[in-house]
Amino acid sequence: MTDVVFSDAATTAKPVEILIAPQNVLRQVARPVRPEDIAGIRLILPGMFAAMYAAPGIGLAAPQVGISQRFALVDLGEAEAREPMIMINPEILEESESLSTREEGCLSLPNQYAEVTRPEKIRLRWTTVDGNVMEREADGLLATCIQHEIDHLDGILFVDHLSTLRRNMILRRLAKEQKFRRG
Ligand code: NI
């Protein structure tokens, strides 16, 4: 499977920079990937995997590295047993009525965590780097992670699922921490 080719290449690739909120690109609806975009996507994937693994994180969407196109990575595997998945133009076809609540974080909102409630199971359609259209079901952490990444493609951050009060509290705390880091 080609996805492994890109995650393996992460060991020698230079990690791309992950953007920290607030950034306009994180709030934009990304455009669909077109066939002519694939060559460029192949070039950036190893650097995106490198950045995600270094963080470490389990998902990374293109807008988080400044690319407003509909693709994202997830990998719930361990360092010794990677399970990379590259989703191009992903779509949720069905979602369960049953919900699950899980603590989420985001590489674009470092050190901020909150419980988010989402559908427990989803049915997903996406296109692979080789242009194959795939479908599968996902539940548990994978379902949460995929929904979080697809949100990024629509300019949505996990804090948008919280109350305004809670969201503003987290965003203020992040801004303060980032200001402190910059000195
Ligand atoms: Ni995120």
pTM score of the predicted model: 0.96
155 close to 166: Cβ distance less than 8 angstroms: no
- Residue 70: give the domain boundaries: 3-182
H/E stretch holding 144 reads: helix 140-153
pLDDT of amino acid 1: 56
pLDDT of residue 157: 98
Q: What is the pLDDT of residue 181?
A: 83
For residue 1, report the distance from its CA to the centre of ligand 1, in Å: 25
Reading the block at residue 175, the tokens are: 């801004």
Preceding peptide of 119 cis, ω within 30°: no
Report how far ligand 1's centroid is from the alpha carbon of 63 (Å): 10
The CATH number given to whatever domain includes residue 17 is 3.90.45.10
- Classify the C-alpha dihedral 125-126-127-132 as positive or negative: negative
Rounded to whole angstroms, how far apart are CA atoms 99 and 141? 12
- Tell me how far apart the terminal alpha carbons of the chain are, to the nearest angstrom: 45
What pLDDT does residue 79 have? 87
Tens of pLDDT, residue by residue over 11-30, are: 899 999 999 999 999 999 99
Q: What is the pLDDT of residue 182?
A: 78
Residues of the chain with pLDDT under 70: 1
CA-closest candidate to residue 72, choices 6, 164, 160? 6
Cα(80)–Cα(53) distance, integer angstroms: 12
Q: What percent of the chain has pLDDT over 90?
A: 91
User: Which of 115, 135, 149, 177 is labelled catalytic?
Assistant: 149
The Å distance, Cα 81 to ligand 1 centre, comes to 22
Reading the block at residue 76, the tokens are: 């719930």
Please say whether the beta carbons of 107 and 52 come within 8 A.
yes
Spatial separation of the C-alpha atoms in residues 27 and 150, rounded to whole Å: 13
Into how many domains does the chain fold?
1
Q: Is 137 a catalytic residue?
A: no
Cα–Cα distance measured from residue 58 to residue 34, given in angstroms and rounded to the nearest whole number: 25
Integer Cα distance of 49 and 51 in angstroms: 5
